[in-house]
Amino acid sequence: MGLMALNRLMSRQREQKQKRNRGRMEANNGWIASFSKRNRSPCRQDVNSHGGKKVRYPMPDLPEDIWRHIHFLLPMQDAARAACLSRSFQSSWKCYPNLTFTNETMCSKENLCKRTTGSNVIRDYNNKIDRVLRNHSGAGVKKLRLEYYVIPCDAEPYHHLTSWLQIAVTPGIEQVHLTLSPKDATFNFPCMLLSETCQGSMQYLHLANLDLHPTFQLGLRTLRTLHLCNVHITEDELGCLLTHSFALAHLRLQYCHDIIRLEIPCLLQRLRFLEVLECSLQVLEINAPNIFRLRLLDFSVQFLLGKSWKMKNLMLNNSCVISYAIDNLPSCAPKVETLTIHSSYEVFSHN
């Protein structure tokens, strides 16, 4: 009798569980049917021409700001395709925030290897970028990554670039990554854009193969990362760029041969990473106290390191750096954990 009672109890529990599951399925089916009915509402359908036929793309009845948020999460290529297929995305495409114009995003794979030899390929590349930016309102841009290629023998090689920057570099922009090709380009970056439009929002600035000549303090108080590669800029002009950049955490200078003497002031309290690579410096003086990692690759620079109590990672590639490290690092940077030294020659005093 005990076994029969147990079986009856287990049978009733299975029936109750099945009944609960059927109730959940009926409720879910009712919700799905209601949601699908709303989706078929004519006011939320996009109609586009495709292959000579009218194609309907039903859109769920969601607020416009949610659709815009979804659109902004897509990579730029997918966001552009969505704007072509759906009217709901056309308006948000005009203020798409992450603009990336590179080989990978703007060119077919078969054209990548032709860029350096064919001016027609470069012209087509520039025309595509121009069409995108002309249809962009300029509002809401957060990130701009642009690889600009100069057309050989072009009488006005930078007329596109100046207008593009004026469209894309707007108040609220956070990142600008601009690279010019070839490396001997002579474009003078418009410093007024940095001063007037984005001094309160810019966090990341990467410039390569161009001229940068600020004559006034730019005051980029939110700038956290600055990378300059093969940029023509003097130490005084760099000072105009760094003045009031108190949030700067990462500074990288590479192939900046116009800088003769570089002083990193103690006012840069948040500077954690400093890289100076092949800049032909004569003097490098570091007074910023909180640098965690330093990379120096400059063979003939006079290196002066102030009190760097937080220095943990140090790489020096310079002449006479071994003797300098023996004489100065124990007192200047006593907490160094990783030290890498390359020295072309040394001069030791005989006592």
In a domain, 329, yes or no: yes
Give the range with max mean pLDDT: 200-204, 231-235, 330-334.
231-235
Residue 45 has pLDDT above 60, yes or no: no
d(CA 66, CA 195): 33
Place of tokens 């003497």: 261
Greatest alpha-carbon pair distance for the chain in Å reads 106
Buried b / exposed e over 227-240, threshold 16 CB at 10 Å, is bbbbbbbeeebbeb
Q: Is residue 104 part of a domain?
A: no
Number of domains in the chain: 2
Among 191, 226, 259, identify where a domain stops: 259
* pLDDT of 178 over the 90 cut: yes
**What's the start-to-end Cα distance of the chain, in Å?**
106
8 A C-beta contact, residue 274 and residue 286:
yes
Is the pLDDT assigned to residue 40 strictly greater than 70?
no
What is the identity of the amino acid at 228? L
242 and 115 together in one domain: yes
pLDDT for residue 36 is more than 50: no
299 inside domain: yes
On whether both 239 and 286 belong to a single domain, the answer is no
pLDDT in tens, 187-230: 999 988 887 777 688 999 999 999 999 988 887 889 999 999 99
Are 224 and 325 contained in the same domain? no
Among residues 101, 100, 103, the alpha carbon closest in space to that of 113 is found at 103
Q: Which whole-number Å values give the CA distances from 151 to 95, 119, 146, 178, 210, in the listed order?
A: 29, 6, 16, 17, 16
Is there a contact between 332 and 308 (Cβ–Cβ < 8 Å)? yes
Strand partners, 225: 204, 250
Q: 69 vs 94, which has greater pLDDT?
A: 94
d(CA 96, CA 325): 51
255 & 285 share domain: no
| Winning range, highest mean pLDDT, from 52-56, 150-154, 178-182, 301-305 | 178-182
Q: Whole-number mean pLDDT of the chain?
A: 78
Tokens of 327: 């004489």
Higher pLDDT, 73 or 195: 195
- Omega before residue 97 within 30° of 0, cis: no
Q: Confirm whether 236 is domain-assigned.
A: yes
Q: Look at residue 330 in the predicted model and tell me its pLDDT.
A: 84
* Element at 287 (helix H, strand E): none
Please give the residue that has the higher pLDDT: either 35 or 170.
170
Instruction: Give a yes or no: residue 194 inside a domain.
Output: yes
Amino acid found at 153: C
| Tens-place pLDDT, residues 74-125 | 666 666 666 666 666 666 666 678 888 988 777 655 555 554 546 788 888 8
Which pLDDT score is estimated for 133? 86
Lowest mean pLDDT among 40-44, 53-57, 309-313: 40-44
Higher local confidence (pLDDT), 171 or 199: 171
Angle between helices 76-85 and 64-73 (to 10 degrees): 140
Asked if residue 283 and residue 253 are part of one domain, the reply reads no
| Within a domain: 20 | no
Domain boundary among 199, 231, 259: 259
Q: Compute the distance between CA of residue 78 and CA of residue 331 in angstroms, rounded to an integer.
A: 55
pLDDT at residue 38 greater than cutoff 50? no
User: What is the residue whose two structure tokens read 């966001």?
Assistant: 79
At residue 128's C-alpha, the angle toward residues 84 and 65, to 5°, is: 40
Least confident of 89-103, 253-267, 299-313, 329-343: 89-103
Residue 123, in any domain of the structure: yes
Q: Is the pLDDT score of 59 beyond 80?
A: no
Q: Does residue 256 have a pLDDT over 90?
A: yes
Provide mean pLDDT across the span 331-335: 84
Tokens matching residue 139: 């509002």
Please give the pLDDT value at position 210: 96
Residue percentage of the chain with pLDDT more than 70: 67
Residue that the structure tokens 């108040």 belong to: 171
Q: Say if residue 292 is in the same domain as residue 236.
A: no
- Does residue 253 share a domain with residue 140? yes
Same-domain pairing of 138 and 197: yes
> Is there a single domain that holds both residue 253 and residue 306?
no
Owner of token pair 């701009």? 144
d(CA 180, CA 186): 9
Q: What is the C-alpha separation between 5 and 277, in angstroms, rounded?
A: 84
Residues 252 and 293 in one domain: no
At residue 343, the pLDDT reads 79
Q: Which domain holds residue 161?
A: 110-259
- Considering the domain architecture, whether residues 191 and 319 belong to the same structural domain is answered as no
- Range name among 12-26, 262-276, 283-297, 331-345 with the lowest pLDDT average: 12-26
Q: Report the predicted TM-score, pTM, of the whole model to 2 decimal places.
A: 0.75
**Inside any domain, residue 181:** yes
Name the domain boundary from 229, 259, 289.
259
Q: Are residues 156 and 233 in the same domain?
A: yes
**Contacts of 324 by beta carbon, 8 Å cutoff, 6+ apart:** 303, 316, 318
